Structure 1
Amino acid sequence: MRNRRKLRRYIITYDIVITVLALISIGLVIFDLVGLISIGRRPFRVIDQSITLIFAIDYAIRFSLAPRKRIFVKTHVLDLLAIIPYNEVFTFLRFSRVGRFARLAKLSRLIGLSGKLKHISNRINRRNGFYFLLSVNSIIILISSAVIARVEHHNFIDAIWWSVATVTTVGYGDIVPKTLVGKAVAVILMFSGIATLGLLTSSLNNIFVRSGRQTERKLAELKKELAEQRVILEEIRSTVLMIRSKMDDTDD
């Protein structure tokens, strides 16, 4: 029992660490795309390479443990995109149109990282419930609000209002980010909101499916009990008829 609890804690901690690393990596790629940073320069290059290495090890371990390798590869294509070291590849392959291909590779990596984050969130949702995801989103909203309040010169309440409207994909348009940092934060919130809504739908579906299965199980148990009661009643009826028949024979 203790070993199971320790294993569960280890898995929870591992999933949290991978989630944080995925969010950091997504942030780095987005900031690189909008021109705020360059992943090819230190210290961002070291951070990006370290995270990519961890993701590659994670992919290799899960691939080795997967019972059906081919199905694993097909269902984890985005995870594979997330571990491609595009910066090193395009540094090695230098040619005239490298800029366009590098941008395409960054977008592919961003899609891959988003897919990996979704897979991790699904695992967390199955193991630890939806509350963990809400807590992560709350932290993202608070950090985003602080950044927006700073760079866009809004008060913190208005920044929270904007963050909540963005993460819920409502987007009233009353507050619009004008700086590159603000727009990058908006993109992160949009990705977070889309992932959360998808997981919320998945969670509700799981709840209904689980309740439906429980109802079916209870109905099956009731049917079994009714069948057993019928057998008992038939036995009682047979016994009563036999006793009545013996009594009739005695009277005769």
Structure 2
Amino acid sequence: MDNETRLRHWRERMEVPLFAASVVFLGCYAVRVLAVDLPQGWRDTFLALTYAMWALFVVDYAVRWRLSGAGTSYPRRHVLDAVMVALPLLRPLRIVRIYESVQRRHAEAKPRLALYARVIAYSGMSAVLLGFAGALTVYAEERGAPGATIKTFGDSVWWTCETLTTVGYGDVVPVTALGRTVAVVMMAGGLALLGAVTGSFSSWLIQTFTLEADKEPPGTPPEAS
């Protein structure tokens, strides 16, 4: 079995465990941010779980690197994976891989409605997860900061909706360096996810209309208006 086959098998086996680990990681982080009155013992437990899930991400990345046989070029060829190991809250951005799989199927004759529908559904779910993670991070950093306008988690969620949809009313804005860094990531993520949804839906419509046009016999006169 060659390296590529072993790597593919590893990815298939780890997809569900890594998704579950991402949910646990995000859940533990959310509890630590939102439950301010949580007893210290429970806070330590959730922190240990957070680090354990992070360690699983690191092990997965190391195994993929080893199985790829790419040597030192692997991090350059898989930048997104490296970013998600450093910032596990960005794991919802794995929607990029799903969108790439749709792009590779554009040449097929039959429109794949189920596949396009899954891309749209996964994009929506990723937007929610990315927004929730961003809202948590910004709220944890902004609350109590001098001159902060994001003082509650509700303020943070409202700001997240503005940022992901690129509306930007400006009524609440981050004032800390980390908050503004998260804002840049959220803007880029919102544009990418919206592009995936609109691009996939438009491609499906084009394929559908193209097939209908190909089925019409040559020389068919246009319908009278």
Q: Report the TM-score, using the length of structure 1 for normalisation.
A: 0.44
Q: Which structure has the bigger radius of gyration?
A: 1
Q: Report the TM-score, using the length of structure 2 for normalisation.
A: 0.49
Larger helix proportion, structure 1 or 2? 1
